[in-house]
Structure formats: C-alpha cells, structure tokens
C-alpha cells in the first residue's frame, strides 16, 4: 500500500472520529439550557448589536447544522434547532456564525480571500472528479487533461487551507464575546468552548484530506510519467 493511500485512510478514519465526537458534543450541550433563556436568534442579534452591526439579519434555515453566514445577502442563517433553542450549543453556534459577520464588517483578509475563491471552487468541485477520471483514461495520449484535474484539486486544497483561519478566528471571536457579554457563566462557557473546538477540528480534517488527495494524484502523475 502506498504512503498516500495509507494517509488518506488514516485521515478518513480521523474525520469519522471527529464527526462522531462533534455530534456527541452538540447533542449533549443541545440538551443543556441556561437560565438567561436567550435563544440562538437572541444571542446572534445581541452579538451583532454589541459589535455595532445593524445591517445583518438573523434568519432561520432548514436542516441540521446548516448554520452559516452569507456575506452576499448579509444574513446570519441559523438552523431551526439553533434559531429557537436556548441551549449552550445553540449559543455557541449562533455566536460563531456572527463571528463571520464581524469578520466581514471589519474586512478580515482571509474571509475576503475565501469569498473570492468561492466561484472557482463551485466549478472545480463539480467537475474535478470527471476531469481526473478522463485524465487517467487519456494520461498517455492527452496528459494535459489530467493536470487540469490536479489544478482543480489543488484549488480545493487551497480553499480548505484558507478556510482554517476563517473558522478558527470566528470561533475565537465567539468565545471572546460570550465570555465578555455574560450570556454564559464560566461553567457553561466550558461547554460552548468544547463545542466550538470540535467543530473547528472538522475543518482541520477536511484540509488534511484535501492535501492528502492532492499528494495522491501528484504521486500517480509521477508514477505514470
């Protein structure tokens, strides 16, 4: 077994473990409510106000853990289970997504770079697999196709790397605000911090997986050169 394949397997297993742990942590703290009674919507709106952001709306979106900030529409989109829940997990998620809104408002450079890469990633992620397969079939006659596929995978790896500081910084902003606002007490903050750290690790695993995939195909190209 080649080193790159072994690396992909190890990262895949690590990703599964992290995802299972994340689900366990969020399920645990989704059942722990705090006396203030603030829902995810309330937490998000308060954090935005405290940062002087008045042109971003907090809305509900369908799905589980589908929470995200949309810079194009200037909306903090919270999943139904977060939007109306007064749990520690909901507060952590809402604050994290507002962390992205704060990044946007303050012109955080990695967020601007990630936003600029989105159109490229939307194209490459939908086509890269087909281009790679075609490139493998024609690697001896038209090797350029395979290298186009590798370029697409490299773009995805770059996007994953740029995403890391964006996500970790948003969590850091969320933790800092939650501590300073008094929304959660010190004991509740421990649960929020654990939740956000495990969520951030999913992005780390995704970045490692993207890099390992790129290395695998680069090795394939070398072996067939």
Which residues face 68 on adjacent strands?
A: 77
Give the catalytic positions in this structure: 97
Query: Does an H or E element contain 70, and which?
Result: strand 68-70
DSSP string, 52-68: T--S-EEEEESSSS--E
For the chain, count helices (H), then strands (E). Answer: 7, 3
Distance CA 6, CA 18 (A): 18
Contact predicate 71/54, CB 8 Å: no
- DSSP string of 56-111? -EEEEESSSS--EEETTTTEEEEEHHHHT--BHHHHHHHHHHHHHHHHHHHT-HHH
Angstrom distance (rounded) from CA 18 to CA 206: 11
CA distance 76 to 72: 11
Please name the residue that has the structure tokens 């909306």.
75
Cα of first residue to Cα of last residue in the chain, in angstroms, is 20
Cβ count near 116 (within 10 Å): 10
Cα angle value 203/206/211 (rounded, 5°): 130
């Amino acid at each position: 077994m080649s080193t790159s394949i072994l690396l992909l397997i190890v990262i895949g297993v690590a990703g599964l473990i992290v995802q299972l742990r994340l689900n366990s942590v969020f399920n645990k703290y989704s059942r722990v409510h705090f006396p203030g009674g603030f829902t995810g919507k309330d937490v998000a709106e308060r954090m935005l106000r405290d940062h002087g952001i008045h042109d971003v709306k907090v809305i509900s979106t369908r799905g589980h853990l589908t929470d995200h900030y949309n810079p194009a529409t200037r909306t903090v989109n919270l999943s139904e289970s977060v939007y109306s829940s007064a749990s520690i997990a909901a507060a952590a998620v809402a604050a994290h997504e507002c962390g992205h809104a704060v990044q946007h408002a303050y012109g955080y450079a990695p967020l601007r770079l990630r936003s600029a890469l989105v159109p490229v990633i939307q194209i490459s992620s939908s086509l890269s697999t087909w281009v790679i397969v075609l490139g493998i079939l024609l690697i001896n006659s038209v090797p350029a196709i395979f290298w186009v596929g590798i370029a697409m995978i490299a773009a995805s790896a770059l996007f994953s790397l740029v995403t890391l500081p964006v996500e970790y910084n948003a969590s850091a902003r969320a933790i800092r605000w939650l501590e300073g606002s008094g929304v959660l007490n010190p004991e509740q903050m421990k649960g929020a911090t654990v939740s956000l750290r495990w969520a951030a690790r999913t992005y780390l695993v995704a970045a490692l997986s993207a890099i390992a995939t790129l290395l695998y195909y680069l090795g394939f190209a070398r072996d067939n050169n």
